[in-house]
Amino acid sequence: MNQLTKNILASISAVVMTVTLTANAGAASIHKASTSTIHRRTALTYTYAKKMLKENKTGLSGKTSSIFSRKLYSETGASSGYSDFLLGLKGNHYQFTTGEKNLLRKNLVIKSNSTAATLANAVMAVQAMGMNAQNYKPYGHKTGINLVSRLYRSSVAKQTASSQAETLIAVSMSNHFKRPSNAKFSKASLSSRLVKVQLNNNGWTYNNAQGAKDADTTSMVLTGLSRGKSATGSVESSIKKGQQFLYSLAQSNGAFGYTFNGKTTPNANSTAEAIIALANGSSTKKYVNSTAMHAGQKATPLYAMLTYVNKTGSIKNATSQLYGVGQVNLAVAAYKAALKGQSVYSIQ
């Protein structure tokens, strides 16, 4: 081996060592949620959620309302966010009582003109509580309702991107769900519809406004497309571009937020939505609590989200504890399921 070759090999070795050390330093510098922190904080939110359900309240202090009430919520029978709340409990192994199931059965509103969004939430809630969405029996009724067929026969054309994503998640929950012959959409066509409204910045927003940075809707659509499992090149490309956009929205503290007039306000709910999206991708679950998405990120999203958990188990700055506690529990459950190669939305 001549001297020139030795010099070249020595230079390559030095570069490899430098890159390795830099990568290790980067990995070590990011704050991660420890196993004990995850367990402790989740125990708080889980206990809080159980009390909320027992009392049928959207929170345990301050201004609250009923979770389930046909009188208060004439179109749905339940407060907004109820399906995520129930899924969060289910994902953390809660066993719903007969009385709790009957509370939903007595109040859930299903009309002939119920929207796709209403039906999608109903499907997810019924499945979460251990009932069959293809044979849902309202309290006192002997004849069941096939909520899945109802959802497939509803129009999604005028629904927001987030509602369309919820619909895609709902119809993808079980391999036993059957699409009726007179369905107005398929999982493939709904996935294509979401791809078509992807913004120029590669994200999504509730009103399709170009230039908007909407972490919540982007996360929901990514979760929906992932669950839809469409193998077309356009969908796979859309997911990859959407994931890159989502990475760019991560704050230095690992949190995600709501952006209005150019200002982003990090919060637990946006962070939870991002965690759920990342957890539903086999190649992206590492970003939940292991690896930084971009340079300058000092903590993982899971670490950031759990800092919003109060000692009582409620969520700091949440507009509704039903959303706050519900989505934090769901995000933790999604991550735990992902580590086992599963999805929190898969309920057979």
Q: What is the domain partition of the chain in residue ranges?
A: 41-339
Predicted confidence at residue 207, as pLDDT, reads 83
Q: What are the angstrom distances between the C-alpha of 105 and each of 70, 73, 122, 126?
A: 11, 14, 11, 9
Rounded to two decimals, the pTM is 0.91
Q: What are the angstrom distances between the C-alpha of 325 and each of 43, 274, 301, 315?
A: 11, 15, 16, 6
Predicted confidence at residue 1, as pLDDT, reads 46
Predicted confidence at residue 266, as pLDDT, reads 97
- For the chain, the 3-state helix, strand and coil shares in percent, each to the nearest 5, are 50, 5, 45
Sequence-ordered alpha helix ranges (H) in 68-197: 82-91, 98-107, 116-128, 147-152, 161-171, 187-196
Predicted confidence at residue 293, as pLDDT, reads 97
Predicted confidence at residue 29, as pLDDT, reads 84
Do 266 and 256 form a contact (C-beta atoms < 8 A)? yes
- CA distance from start to end of the chain: 64
Predicted confidence at residue 208, as pLDDT, reads 82
Place of tokens 């759990």: 306
Among the four given CATH numbers 3.40.50.150, 1.50.10.10, 3.40.1280.10, 1.20.1730.10, the one describing domain 41-339: 1.50.10.10
| Angle made by CA atoms 87, 90, 91, in degrees to the nearest 5 | 85
What does the block give as tokens for 249? Answer: 């929205």
Residues of the chain with pLDDT under 50: 1-28
At 247-299, the pLDDT tens digits run: 999 999 999 999 888 899 999 999 999 999 999 989 999 999 999 999 999 99
